Each structure stands twice: as C-alpha cells, then as structure tokens.
Structure 1
Amino acid sequence: MPALLFFTDPVRTPEPEVIAERLPPGSAIVYRAFGATGALERARSLKQVALRRGLKLIIGRDVALARRVGADGVHLPEALAHRALAVRRMNPGWIVTSAAHSFAAARLSRADAVVMSVAFPSRSASAGPAMGPIRLSLLIRGSGRAVYALGGINDVTASRLLATGAIGIAGVDGLAG
C-alpha cells in the first residue's frame, strides 16, 4: 500500500499534475473527477505522471474510467464500500480503498484500506468533527487493514499521526487537507 495518498479536488487542486510531480515515489494519486468534463483526458495525464514518477493512480468511484486508463485501483465512497470485494474480484491486482466517516464504517469495509475522515479540523466544506490522533490510532490498531487519515493534514499534524502509529497519510493540496 502507498504510504501517502494525494486526493484531487477540482476546486482546491485545479492542476493536480503540478502536485503529483512533487509526490515522493511510492505515493498514490486519487483522482476524483466528480463528473467533470474532460475526466478521461485528466486521468490519462495523471497516469503519465504516475508512470514517470513511480506513483500509483487510483480513480475515485468510477470503475469504468479506472479500467479505461489502466489505473492501479479505485477509491469507493463510503456508500459503495460494500462493493469492494466484487470490484477486487473483477480487477485482480487493483488497490481498492473506501471512505469511512465512522468507526463502524471502517470496520465494515472490505477494501484493502480505508480512508478515515476527518482526522483534524479541516477547511473542507464537507468536514465534520475531527477525531484527532489518539482516536485515529486506536482505530488503526484494531482495524486489521491499512487506514489513511484525511482532513486537516499538514506537516505538523502528519508528524503527530506518525508519532502515534497512524502511518497512512492522505491529503488534498499535497500534504495540506
């Protein structure tokens, strides 16, 4: 599993290739098109960056787009996390992640990894109450799968997570979520 996930956002990261070019090798780009026109072209562009930089490309929600561009996997929203096993069976070798906004959702997911939100207070319009590093590390230790933190991630909060054993980091704007 990648150590770092970079989540694109059409508003906050309008040029995701610029950030992807700065990611450390072994990281992953999670491209979320949100129905944007030009999604195929942007996904192909990100795939080229991923190949050149030693990154993985994971497509948000859209299994057909992921297949079409030769992505390394798919990220499912929490409401579709129950499909993780079927997606993996139909696409051997893919990384399948799912969103989780509660401990129950994280435990029920059958994805390879869950992206737990919200780790820290975040500027995101959809962010709920933050759980903080202690609660997040307890979840990680009991989950039996990789867990990534999303929301309010920056250099300081990432260090706090790493210190508690929450080693998966996910963010928008590079390391700032």
Structure 2
Amino acid sequence: MRKDLDRVVRAVRYLDPDRTSVALIAMTGPKRLPDPWAALAALPRGSALIWRAYDEKPDYETARRLTAAARKKTCVLFVAGSPKLGGRLGIAGIHLPERDIGRCRGIAAHVLVTAACHSERAVIEAARAGADAVLISPVLPTESHPGGKVLGVVRLARLAMLAGALGMPAYALGGITDETHIRRLQGTGIAGVAGIGFLLHQRYSSGI
C-alpha cells in the first residue's frame, strides 16, 4: 500500500534532515522490476530513478517520454551502462557499474554521474573520475544476489565517511525494503537509500 512507501520516505528523511540531494533512488532490474514506467509511477516526487537497461536497446522516443514524465514529477532520470548511450538518448544522468568508473572522465560536465562502489578503492576512484555520488553496495542481504557477501552497517559507515570527505554523497544499496532496515542505517552518514526492494514490497495498482 502507498502508506508503506510513505513510511520509507519519512525514515529516509531522518537520515539527513539537512540534505540538499535526493533521498530515494529507485532502480529497475531485468528480472525483479524491468518496467521503468511502473517504477517511476510508484516513486514519490523529488526522487531519482536509475533505468538499468543493460540488456535492452532503449530508443530515443521512449527515453524522451520517460525523461519528460520524470521531470513532470520532479524526479531525476539516470540510464545505467554506456555513457554514449545516455548521451544519444538525451538523458541528464548516467549510472556506471564499478568496473566502468573510469569512464566518468568521458562524460560531459553537465551530466550527473553516479557510480556503484563496493570498496574503499572504488570510492576513491569514483572521486578521482569526477562522479557526483556513489551507491555503496551490497549493504544487507539482497534478493538480487542471494547468498552474496554483504558489507554490513559498520563498513557502510566507513565508506560513506570516505565518500563524504571526498565531496560525494553516498547512498546505501542492497537489501533495503522497509523503514526497519533504514533505521539500522541511522548514523552512517549516508544521504539516502537506493534499490528495488522498497518498491517491490509495496502493493500498487500500477502493477508493481
């Protein structure tokens, strides 16, 4: 129900009451949440959406319409993967997996860049490459990578502190599905949370 996501949003706001950046970043996924339209419809105003179209070939018209829909509800749209793809589609934000962080340097200065980071080395590399924010993962056990190794809250706090010292807001990604998880992250220094789970655990008439 919508009230479940409202509780998530309120919990995220408590993480950083003086924030100047978005608090909630939703992500699409080829198996768990492939439809960017459904994800965008579920998001509260002022959030961000990372369209992970790794196995697709998004066309310009779809990207144009999705960008316009995001702007209408004051959301920021990122496309994950190739910086060239994002440029061709006219999307203002690019999200890079850790292995591609070095490609930040080839992206225009006016384009926002987020990067996935799993270690101190990756956070430092993201800062050197000019990323605007980092998504630190996986923080908690996640359905996207069942049985995978997680960072935990203490390591998240260390990485978030490092990112902040380097001038980048950090977002916690992985296994965050409700306000109970978010409360565990208080005091870690993150700017907000990112993921799929907090949308999938809501029941929407939009079909999610």
Structure 2 length as normaliser, TM-score?
A: 0.74
Q: Name which of structure 1's ranges 124-133 and 137-146 shifts more when overlaid on structure 2.
A: 124-133
Aligned residues: 174
Query: C-alpha distance in 2, partners of 1:39/1:125?
Result: 29
Aligned to 1:55: 75
In structure 2, what residue type is equivalent to 1:168? G
Could you tell me which runs of 5 or more consecutive residues in structure 1 were left unpaired when the two chains were aligned: none
Q: Deviation per CA, 1:60-108: give whole Å up to 9, x if none.
A: 0122332233212101111110121331xxx222111111122221222
- Counting only pairs closer than 5 Å after superposition, residues 118-137 of structure 1 correspond to structure 2 as 118-125=138-145, 128-137=148-157
Query: C-alpha distance in 2, partners of 1:168/1:158?
Result: 9
Match of residue 66, structure 1, among 77, 86, 89: 86
Identity within the alignment, %: 36
In structure 2, the CA distance between the partners of 1:30 and 1:153, relative to structure 1 (3 Å rule), is same
**What secondary structure does 1:109 align onto?**
helix
Q: Deviation per CA, 1:33-81: give whole Å up to 9, x if none.
A: 1131455454334213202111111110122332233212101111110
CA RMSD of aligned residues (A): 2.3
In structure 2, what residue type is equivalent to 1:101? H
- Counting only pairs closer than 5 Å after superposition, residues 20-99 of structure 1 correspond to structure 2 as 20-38=40-58, 40-87=60-107, 91-99=108-116
Query: C-alpha distance in 2, partners of 1:63/1:19?
Result: 22
2:50–2:79 contact (8 Å) kept in structure 1: yes
**What secondary structure does 1:164 align onto?**
coil
Aligned to 1:154: 177
1:153–1:175 contact (8 Å) kept in structure 2: no
In structure 1, what residue type is equivalent to 2:92? D
Could you tell me which runs of 5 or more consecutive residues in structure 2 were left unpaired when the two chains were aligned: 1-20, 202-208
Does 2:183 align with 1:166?
no
1:148–1:170 contact (8 Å) kept in structure 2: yes
Aligned to 1:13: 33
Q: Deviation per CA, 1:115-166: give whole Å up to 9, x if none.
A: 1110101111377311122221121112221111111011221222234332
In structure 1, what residue type is equivalent to 2:170? V
